Amino acid sequence: MTMWNGKLMKENELSKPAKIIVGAGIVILLAFSAATAFQNAVHGVVRRPWALSIVLIGFLCFVFPKLSIIRGKKLVSFGTGFMTEHQANFYRAGYFLMVVGLLLSLA
């Protein structure tokens, strides 16, 4: 395999070690978020209730591009492969806003 024939690594693709590191980070973040959410639910405390609005805005930015894909082309799809550039940007912004809202509500 050489880098000249394009089989070494594709553009915007994580390497295997990076996928493992990112996956482990996501699992740790989800475990921390679940533990914090459970603790807040038990104690009846929500530190930043306004952060839910950020999550909802992010969810809307995520859902609208997905609905256009579901309505037009494919019922199940992952990623931005079937989206236009504008839709893909909204899709990514939606994910970003949902994560930021989640972190703000739990931290």
pLDDT tens by residue, 5-17: 555 555 667 778 8
Q: What is the mean pLDDT of residues 98-106?
A: 83
Tell me the pLDDT tens digit for each residue of 42-96: 787 777 778 888 888 988 988 888 888 777 767 766 777 777 788 888 888 888 9
Q: In terms of domains, do 62 and 102 share one? A: yes
Please check whether residues 40 and 91 belong to one and the same domain. Answer: no
40 and 61 part of one domain:
no
- The arithmetic mean of pLDDT across residues 100-105, rounded, is 83
Separation CA 102–CA 65 (nearest Å):
21
58 and 102 in a single domain? The answer is yes
Q: Are residues 25 and 62 in the same domain?
A: no
φ/ψ (deg, to 5) at 76: -120, 125
Structural domains counted in the chain = 2
Rounded Cα distance, 75 and 56, in Å: 23
Domain that holds residue 27: 13-45
8 lies in some domain: no
Q: What is the pLDDT of residue 102?
A: 82
Q: Are residues 59 and 98 in the same domain?
A: yes
pTM (predicted TM-score): 0.57
- Residue 47: per-residue pLDDT: 76
